[in-house]
């Protein structure tokens, strides 16, 4: 019985696809057989999903709920909309785009974003949003938070996340403020290493904590921990494993009574601190209610159970967390009532939702120099050089998307290349006009958010040479700032926070006003 209760404190990861053959990350994503056993026999409390289309997800969520012994919390990292993770739903620009819009308008957009995300998530069976990010991104070299943040000041972040939460709260879904006590001022990705935040308690209270206080005041349902070392509060344990931070600061000092969920326990920022089972025990000791993605859920349950049996953790401590889990499950109970037929998928990516996304993109877009561009003339074919961070993971880019299809119609030859491979090109032999498109932003696991020093040096030379007819930056305002300090004043450039096809189309309407007509005229046969 106690093991069954402990299992309610665990959330495992699996694919949003229906078939095991579609699993992309077998190290982390459970197979159907594993998952069926965990949910029906162990009584695991929740799942986090990644991958699949919106239509698949609707069927997948029903399948998982049918397997579960106890109704599930179904979570997803959908900070930028359901369409960010599940194709077909609305995909919004990164939250930082709102910080570049006038405050009142930005708050209205944040509220609309929250409302749309919650409605679409609920329609597909997701009842726990791992959003919003409330970290203050005041370090431009931050490789993991970056544009996922709502801004660079606690005031801006607090205002926008409050509005976002207001929007989410129009639907019975759970919200999550992350990553406590603040992951914004680090140049290290906690997916890869354990960052250290060296600030004093006074500085933390001034910058990092206000957005969490705002989220708590607005009634956020859960708070996710950060895998960070904060010596001012605990010189020994990372925040996720620190009683001084989770219980002392978050519960007692800030008065948070909701659900405390760890960030993924397979992340290197915490996984290297102790063995996998000991980490689970220490997180519960520290005050966590939910263990997200332990390396082995069955062993995690056993480890926490043994800690209770030995007297290391009291049974009352377990019951307190289980009670909090039951309380939030009561809030989202409508999400597992499947008496009605499947939801009409026409409720996703509605014209109003798409218009909101487009308005945010337009209001946050920047451009300068000699625009619009003219089609390069001459014997040499112009080159569309598309620089990406991971060529094997480009859900926003393909032969049909505007950044590729439109320049092809204009006569550009296309080359897609990862940033780290740019030095392999024979730049001395390149004499044709060059259009440079950079898809670069902060994202987990990359441990880099901008241009490497070698690439900076390379681009400086290209900008001075006059070879570049224009450049586009999709994602990082920090890359834009670097280029603006090195570009000739006449250089044509466009910046957008978004990387999705909708953002690409808007960019090309600035570069070439008739671009959308050209995109529609283009066809690709395989």
Catalytic residue set: 191, 263
Q: What angle do CA 356, 361, 366 make, to 5 degrees?
A: 155
Q: Could you count the other beta carbons within 10 Å of the beta carbon of residue 523?
A: 8
Of 483, 472, 490, nearest to 406 by C-alpha is 472
What are 67's two structure tokens? 């397997």
**What is the rounded radius of gyration, in angstroms, for the C-alpha atoms of the chain?**
24
Of 509, 504, 449, 497, nearest to 92 by C-alpha is 497
Q: What phi-psi label fits residue 445: left (phi over 0), alpha (psi between -120 and 50 degrees) or beta?
A: left
User: Do residues 366 and 480 make contact, with C-beta atoms less than 8 angstroms apart?
Assistant: yes
Number of H helices, E strands in the chain: 18, 14
- Cis, bond preceding 181 (omega within 30 deg of 0): yes
- Report the C-alpha dihedral over residues 227, 229, 232, 236, rounded to 10 degrees: 110
* Alpha-carbon separation of residue 287 from 181, 354, 462, 485 (angstroms): 14, 40, 53, 47
Buried/exposed 26-50: b ≥16 CB within 10 Å, e otherwise: eebbbebeebbebbeebbbbbbbbb
Of 453, 463, 503, nearest to 369 by C-alpha is 463
- Side-chain-side CA neighbours of 266 within 13 Å: the count stands at 14
What are 417's two structure tokens? 């290349």
Q: What angle do CA 78, 276, 311 make, to 5 degrees?
A: 110
Helix (H) or strand (E) holding 512: none
Q: What phi-psi label fits residue 52: left (phi over 0), alpha (psi between -120 and 50 degrees) or beta?
A: left
Q: What angle do CA 207, 453, 488 make, to 5 degrees?
A: 95
What gap in Å lies between CA 335 and CA 327, rounded to an integer?
A: 14
Of 39, 47, 36, 22, nearest to 335 by C-alpha is 47
By CB neighbour count within 10 A (0-12 exposed, 13-18 middle, 19+ buried), where does 62 fall? Answer: middle
């Amino acid at each position: 019985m106690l093991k069954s209760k402990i299992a309610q404190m665990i959330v495992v990861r699996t694919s949003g696809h229906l078939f095991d053959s579609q699993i992309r990350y077998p190290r982390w994503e459970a197979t159907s057989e594993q998952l069926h056993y965990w949910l029906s026999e162990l009584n695991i409390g929740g799942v986090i999903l990644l991958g699949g289309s919106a239509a698949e997800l609707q069927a997948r969520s029903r399948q998982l709920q049918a397997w579960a012994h106890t109704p599930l919390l179904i979570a997803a990292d959908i900070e930028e909309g359901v369409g960010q993770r599940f194709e077909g739903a609305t995909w919004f620009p990164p939250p930082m785009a709102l910080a570049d819009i006038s405050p009142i308008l930005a708050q209205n957009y944040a509220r609309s974003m929250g409302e749309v995300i919650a409605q679409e998530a609920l329609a597909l069976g997701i009842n726990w949003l791992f959003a919003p990010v409330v970290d203050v991104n005041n370090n431009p070299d931050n490789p993991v938070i970056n544009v996922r943040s709502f801004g660079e000041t606690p005031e801006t972040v607090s205002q926008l996340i409050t509005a976002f939460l207001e929007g989410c709260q129009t639907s019975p879904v759970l919200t999550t403020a992350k990553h406590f006590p603040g992951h914004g001022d680090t140049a290290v990705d906690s997916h890869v290493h354990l960052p250290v935040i060296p600030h004093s308690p006074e500085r933390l209270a001034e910058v990092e904590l206000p957005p969490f206080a705002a989220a708590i005041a607005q009634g956020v349902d859960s708070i996710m921990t950060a895998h960070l070392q904060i010596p001012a509060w605990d010189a020994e344990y990372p925040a996720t494993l620190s009683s001084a931070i989770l219980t002392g600061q978050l519960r007692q000092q800030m008065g948070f009574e909701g659900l405390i969920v760890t960030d993924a326990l397979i992340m290197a920022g915490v996984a290297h601190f102790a063995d996998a089972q000991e980490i689970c025990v220490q997180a519960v000791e520290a005050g966590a209610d939910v263990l997200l993605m332990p390396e082995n859920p069955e062993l995690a349950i056993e480890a926490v159970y043994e800690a209770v049996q030995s007297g290391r953790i009291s049974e009352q401590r377990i019951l307190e967390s289980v009670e909090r889990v039951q309380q939030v499950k009561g809030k989202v109970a409508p999400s597992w009532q499947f008496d009605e037929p499947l939801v009409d998928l026409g409720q996703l990516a509605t014209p109003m939702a798409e218009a909101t996304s487009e308005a945010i993109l337009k209001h946050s877009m920047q451009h300068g120099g000699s625009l619009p561009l003219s089609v390069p003339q001459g014997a040499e074919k112009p080159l569309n050089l598309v620089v990406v961070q991971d060529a094997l993971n480009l859900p926003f880019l393909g032969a049909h998307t505007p950044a590729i299809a439109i320049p092809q119609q204009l006569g550009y030859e296309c080359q897609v290349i990862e940033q780290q491979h740019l030095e392999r090109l024979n730049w001395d032999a390149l004499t044709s006009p060059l259009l440079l498109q950079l898809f670069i932003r902060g994202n987990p696991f990359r441990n880099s958010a901008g241009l490497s020093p070698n690439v900076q040096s390379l681009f400086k030379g290209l900008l001075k040479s006059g070879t570049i007819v224009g450049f586009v930056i999709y994602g990082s305002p920090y890359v834009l700032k670097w280029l603006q300090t090195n570009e000739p004043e006449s250089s044509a450039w466009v910046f957008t926070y978004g990387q999705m096809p909708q953002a690409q189309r808007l960019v090309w309407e600035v570069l070439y006003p008739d671009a959308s007509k050209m995109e529609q005229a283009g066809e690709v046969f395989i």
